[in-house]
Structure 1
Amino acid sequence: MRSSDLPVSAAIPALRDALDSAGTAVLAAPPGTGKTTLVPLALAETGRRVIVAEPRRLAARAAARRMAWMLGEQVGERVGYAIRGERRPGSAVEVVTTGVLLRRLQHDPDVRADVVILDECHERHLDADTAFAFLLDVRTTLRPDLGLVAASATADTGPWSKLMGEAPVVSADGAMHPVEVVWAPPPRPVRPPHGLSVDPALLDHVASTVRRAVAERDGDVLCFLPGVAEIDRVARALGDLHVLRLHGRAPAAVQEEVLRGPEGGRRVVLATSVAESSLTVPGVRIVVDAGLSREPRTDHARGLGALTTVRASRAAADQRAGRAGREAPGAVYRCWTEAEHQRLPERPRPEIALADLTGFALEAACWGDPDATGLALLDAPPPAAMRAARETLRAIGAVDDGGRATERGRRMARIGVHPRLARALLDGAEHVGARAAEVVAVLSDQQRADEDLVRQWRGLRRDPRWRDETRRLRRAIPEAPEAGPDDETTAGVVVALAFPERVARARDGGGYLMASGTAAEPFKGSTLGGSEWLAIAVADRPAGAPAARIRQAVPIDEEAARLAVGVTVEDEVVWRGDVVARRVERLGAIELSAAPLADPDPELVRAALREGLRREGLGLLTWTREAEALRARLAFCHRVLGPPWPAMDDDALLESLDLAAGGARRRADLERADVSALLRGLLPWECAARLDEVAPERIAVPSGSRIRIDYSGEQPVLAAKLQELFGWTETPRVAGVPLVVHLLSPAGRPAAVTADLASFWREGYRNVRAELRGRYPRHPWPEDPAKAEPTRRTNTRRR
Structure 2
Amino acid sequence: MIRHDALDRLPVRSAVPALRDALDGHGAAVLCAPPGTGKTTLVPLVLAGLVGDGPARRVVVAEPRRIAARAAARRMAWLLGEKAGDSVGHTVRGERVVGRHTRVEVVTTGVLLQRLQRDQELAGVDVVVLDECHERHLDADTVAAFLLDVRETLRPELRLVAASATTDARGWAGLLGGAPVVEAEGLSYPVEVVWSPPARPLRPPHGLRVDPALLAHVASLVRRALAECEGDVLCFLPGVGEIARVAGQLGDLGDIEVLQVHGRAPAAVQDAVLSPGTGRRVVLATAVAESSLTVPGVRVVVDCGLAREPRVDHARGLSALTTVRASQATGGQRAGRAGREAPGRVYRCWSEAEDTRLPRFPAPEIRLADLTAFALQAACWGDPDASGLALLDPPPGGAMAAARSVLAAIGAVDPEGRATDRGARMSRLGLHPRLARALLDAAPEVGPERAAEVVALLSEEPPREYGDDLAAAWRTARRGGDAYAARWREEARRLRVAADAPRRPDTDGATSAQDDHAAGLVAALAFPERLARADGGSFLMLNGTRAEPAAGSHLRGAPWLAVAVADRPLQAGHARVRHAAVVDEHVARRAAAALHTTDDEVHWTGGDVVARHVERLGAVELTVRPLRETAPALVRDALLEGLRQEGFGLLHWSPGALLLRQRLAFVRLHLGAPWPEVTDDALHARVDEWLEPELSRARRRADLARIDAAGALARLLPWATGEAARLDELAPERIAVPSGSAIRVDYADPERPVLAVKLQEMFGLQDSPEIAGVPVLVHLLSPAGRPAAVTADLASFWRDGYRAVRAELRGRYPKHPWPEDPAGAEPTRHTNARLRR
Match of 2:702 in 1: 668
Q: CA deviation at 1:216?
A: 3.9
Q: CA deviation at 1:370?
A: 2.5
- Is 1:73 matched up with 2:52? no
- Is 1:494 matched up with 2:508? no
Match of 2:310 in 1: 296
Distance 1:694 1:404, change over 3 A: farther
Q: CA deviation at 1:391?
A: 2.1
- Is 1:40 matched up with 2:44? yes
Distance 1:447 1:191, change over 3 A: farther
Match of 1:568 in 2: 597
Match of 1:764 in 2: none
- Is 1:201 matched up with 2:213? yes
Question: What does 1:336-735 correspond to in 2, within 5 Å?
Answer: 336-434=350-448, 435-446=450-461, 448=463, 451-461=468-478, 462=481, 463-478=485-500, 482=504, 486-508=514-536, 510-523=537-550, 526=553, 528-541=555-568, 545-566=572-593, 567-570=596-599, 571-625=601-655, 627-628=657-658, 648-657=678-687, 658=691, 661-676=695-710, 678-679=712-713
Distance 1:479 1:312, change over 3 A: closer
Q: Aligned residues, how many? A: 781
Question: What does 1:250-289 correspond to in 2, within 5 Å?
Answer: 250-262=265-277, 264-289=278-303
Match of residue 85, structure 1, among 73, 77, 94: 94
RMSD, aligned CA: 4.9
In the aligned structure 2, how far is the partner of 1:203 from the partner of 1:708? 76
Q: CA deviation at 1:277?
A: 0.6
In the aligned structure 1, how far is the partner of 2:363 from the partner of 2:167? 17
Say whether the 8 Å CA contact 2:695–2:704 is kept in structure 1: no
In the aligned structure 2, how far is the partner of 1:128 from the partner of 1:99? 8
Q: CA deviation at 1:636?
A: 9.1
CA offsets 1:27-52 (integer angstroms, 9 cap, x no match): 11111111011101111113332111
Q: CA deviation at 1:186?
A: 4.1
Question: Percentage identity across aligned positions?
Answer: 63
Say whether the 8 Å CA contact 1:433–1:480 is kept in structure 2: no
Match of 1:761 in 2: none
Match of residue 125, structure 1, among 132, 137, 150: 137
Q: CA deviation at 1:384?
A: 2.6
Match of 1:15 in 2: 19
CA offsets 1:129-169 (integer angstroms, 9 cap, x no match): 11112222222222222221111111642221222233211
Match of residue 121, structure 2, among 81, 105, 110: 110
Q: CA deviation at 1:690?
A: 9.3
Match of residue 33, structure 2, among 29, 33, 44: 29
In the aligned structure 1, how far is the partner of 2:353 from the partner of 2:75? 39
Could you tell me which amino acid in structure 1 is paired with residue 471 of structure 2? V
Which secondary structure state, in structure 2, belongs to the residue aligned with residue 552 of structure 1? strand
Which secondary structure state, in structure 2, belongs to the residue aligned with residue 374 of structure 1? coil
Could you tell me which amino acid in structure 2 is paired with residue 49 of structure 1? R
Say whether the 8 Å CA contact 2:318–2:370 is kept in structure 1: no
Q: CA deviation at 1:596?
A: 1.9
- Runs of at least 5 residues in structure 2 that lack an aligned partner in the other structure: 737-741, 757-770, 784-815, 818-837
Distance 1:348 1:249, change over 3 A: same
Match of residue 157, structure 2, among 132, 138, 145: 145
Match of 2:798 in 1: none
Moved more, 77-86 or 654-663: 654-663
Which secondary structure state, in structure 2, belongs to the residue aligned with residue 328 of structure 1? coil
Moved more, 170-179 or 203-212: 203-212
Distance 1:448 1:342, change over 3 A: farther
CA offsets 1:564-611 (integer angstroms, 9 cap, x no match): 223322234333211122222222112233222222222222122111
Which secondary structure state, in structure 1, belongs to the residue aligned with residue 260 of structure 2? strand
Match of 2:261 in 1: 246
Which secondary structure state, in structure 2, belongs to the residue aligned with residue 535 of structure 1? strand
Match of 1:234 in 2: 246
CA offsets 1:221-243 (integer angstroms, 9 cap, x no match): 32222111122222333475423
Say whether the 8 Å CA contact 2:384–2:417 is kept in structure 1: yes
Q: CA deviation at 1:682?
A: 7.1
Match of 2:105 in 1: 94
In the aligned structure 2, how far is the partner of 1:197 from the partner of 1:409? 36
Say whether the 8 Å CA contact 2:429–2:499 is kept in structure 1: no
Q: CA deviation at 1:199?
A: 2.8
Moved more, 246-255 or 483-492: 483-492
Say whether the 8 Å CA contact 1:584–1:595 is kept in structure 2: yes
Which secondary structure state, in structure 1, belongs to the residue aligned with residue 359 of structure 2? coil
Say whether the 8 Å CA contact 1:717–1:739 is kept in structure 2: no
Which secondary structure state, in structure 1, belongs to the residue aligned with residue 428 of structure 2? helix
- Runs of at least 5 residues in structure 1 that lack an aligned partner in the other structure: 720-733, 748-774, 777-799
Could you tell me which amino acid in structure 2 is paired with residue 669 of structure 1? D
Q: CA deviation at 1:4?
A: 1.8
Say whether the 8 Å CA contact 1:306–1:540 is kept in structure 2: no
Could you tell me which amino acid in structure 2 is paired with residue 547 of structure 1? H
Say whether the 8 Å CA contact 2:636–2:696 is kept in structure 1: no
Distance 1:585 1:155, change over 3 A: closer
Could you tell me which amino acid in structure 2 is paired with residue 499 of structure 1? F
Could you tell me which amino acid in structure 1 is paired with residue 597 of structure 2? T
Which secondary structure state, in structure 2, belongs to the residue aligned with residue 460 of structure 1? helix
Say whether the 8 Å CA contact 2:303–2:346 is kept in structure 1: yes
In the aligned structure 2, how far is the partner of 1:14 from the partner of 1:94? 23
Q: CA deviation at 1:352?
A: 1.6
In the aligned structure 2, how far is the partner of 1:316 from the partner of 1:270? 17
Q: CA deviation at 1:273?
A: 0.8
In the aligned structure 1, how far is the partner of 2:414 from the partner of 2:153? 26
In the aligned structure 2, how far is the partner of 1:636 from the partner of 1:202? 64
CA offsets 1:517-548 (integer angstroms, 9 cap, x no match): 12234445555444343222222335765333
In the aligned structure 2, how far is the partner of 1:393 from the partner of 1:333? 46
Could you tell me which amino acid in structure 1 is paired with residue 59 of structure 2? V
Say whether the 8 Å CA contact 1:573–1:608 is kept in structure 2: yes
Moved more, 298-307 or 94-103: 298-307
In the aligned structure 1, how far is the partner of 2:407 from the partner of 2:502? 23
Say whether the 8 Å CA contact 1:178–1:329 is kept in structure 2: yes
Could you tell me which amino acid in structure 1 is paired with residue 270 of structure 2? Q
Say whether the 8 Å CA contact 1:224–1:272 is kept in structure 2: yes
Which secondary structure state, in structure 1, belongs to the residue aligned with residue 31 of structure 2? strand
CA offsets 1:271-324 (integer angstroms, 9 cap, x no match): 211111111122323323222211222255995753222222222222122222
Distance 1:85 1:341, change over 3 A: same
CA offsets 1:69-105 (integer angstroms, 9 cap, x no match): 2122222222222222332336321111111111122
In the aligned structure 1, how far is the partner of 2:252 from the partner of 2:637? 67
In the aligned structure 1, how far is the partner of 2:27 from the partner of 2:458? 41
CA offsets 1:213-264 (integer angstroms, 9 cap, x no match): 33444333322221111222223334754232211111122222222332x3
In the aligned structure 2, how far is the partner of 1:186 from the partner of 1:632? 64
